[in-house]
Amino acid sequence: MLRFIDLFCGIGGFRLALEKRGLECVFSSDIDTYAQEAYKQNFGEKPSGDITEISAKNIPSHDILCGGFPCQPFSISGKMEGTTDPRGKLFFEIIRIAKYHKPKIMLLENVRNILTIDRGKVIKTIEKELKDIGYTLHKLLLNASFFGVPQARERVYFVAIKGKDIQYEPPRETFEKKYLNSVMEKDVDKNFFIDRDDICIQKLEDEIKNKLEPIRIGIVNKGGQGERIYSTKGHAITQSAYGGGVGARTGLYQTSKGIRRLTPDECKSVMGFPKRHFVSPGLQGYKQLGNAVVPSMINHVFDGLRGL
């Protein structure tokens, strides 16, 4: 059985995906105490804490290193400080561990902006570091919308392979016709709805056709981030850990009962998690889902490996 480690594990998107493929998780780590507790609720074990304080020799040997390393230093919704941000430097913890254990594969995920931040210097650094310790890198820019997930979530997936025995074939989009209205709940608490005088609907529902993308139909206030209204005939916007506006983190959507944010269970659905998967209550849960990887996307990426 192939063994993997789950770094910056959050609520366990990588683990959920790879255990489905029959792999064994032998180590997990996350510095966030709320994420640790959520992970324990889901998998029966509490992750180790700050990876910078854990010696590589105390991490079990493994075939695959997984990590959705912190994206805030590279995100357009953050300050985009890249590897000058302490969180951006956590990539070098991955290098430190891989240099010691020499796993066959590394599966990593981050935001699209990592490809262009600092005029491409960040991605060149990543490529060089991986090459220097003997890995061939495959970079995949994939949008979950084109793989049966009703959310526009474009992410970069890194598949780093050691040696020449293992080959890689990138996944092909499935273009499955799944839309947000298929996961929307019917009975939702009134606290998720908004009732304001500055709502402006610009498209009628009868005029809208299904699309594998968010369909913007109106605004609240000035229409800034978190103030845009979408149709459920399309996809959810990218779920976020942070953000402002009345629709922060989930976006606003028009339903038969009014305009509202997504519930935690709906957010799980648009991230590809089962509803039974535990997340912390309140804003912490939204943050955890916004920071998570989409498990089915990890499966698509993993399934391209040949010769493992």
Tens digit of each residue's pLDDT (9 = 90 or more) over 162-195: 999 999 999 999 999 999 999 999 999 999 999 9
Average pLDDT, the chain: 93
Percent of the chain topping pLDDT 90: 87
Question: How high is the pLDDT of residue 88?
Answer: 59
Residue 33 vs residue 79, higher pLDDT: 33
C-alpha–C-alpha distance, residues 277 and 30, integer Å: 18
Band (89; pLDDT cuts 50, 70, 90): confident
Helix axes 264-271, 282-291, angle to 10 degrees: 10
C-alpha–C-alpha distance, residues 243 and 7, integer Å: 25
Residue 307, Cβ density class (10 Å: 0-12 exposed, 13-18 middle, ≥19 buried):
exposed
Q: What is the pTM of this model?
A: 0.93
Query: Going by C-beta distance under 8 Å and a sequence separation of 6 or more, which residues neighbour residue 128?
Result: none
3 state SS of 65? strand
Per-residue three-class SS string for 295-308: HHHHHHHHCCEECC
Question: How high is the pLDDT of residue 244?
Answer: 86
Question: How high is the pLDDT of residue 76?
Answer: 45
Domains of the chain from N-terminus onward: 3-175+281-286+293-306 (3.40.50.150), 180-270 (3.90.120.10)
Place of tokens 């590897």: 83
Q: What is the set of active-site residues? A: 71
The residue-averaged pLDDT of 226-246 equals 95
Tens digit of each residue's pLDDT (9 = 90 or more) over 104-125: 999 999 999 999 988 898 899 9
The residue-averaged pLDDT of 295-305 equals 98
pLDDT for 73 beyond 80: no
Contact call for residues 242 and 249 (beta carbons, < 8 A): yes
Which strand (E) or helix (H) includes residue 271? helix 264-271
C-alpha–C-alpha distance, residues 307 and 256, integer Å: 50
Provide the residue type at 51 as one letter: I
Band (82; pLDDT cuts 50, 70, 90): very low
Give the range with max mean pLDDT: 59-73, 106-120, 252-266: 252-266
Tokens of 294: 């989409």
Query: What count of Cα atoms within 13 Å lies in the side-chain half-sphere of residue 44?
Result: 2
Place of tokens 């009868």: 206
Question: How high is the pLDDT of residue 243?
Answer: 85
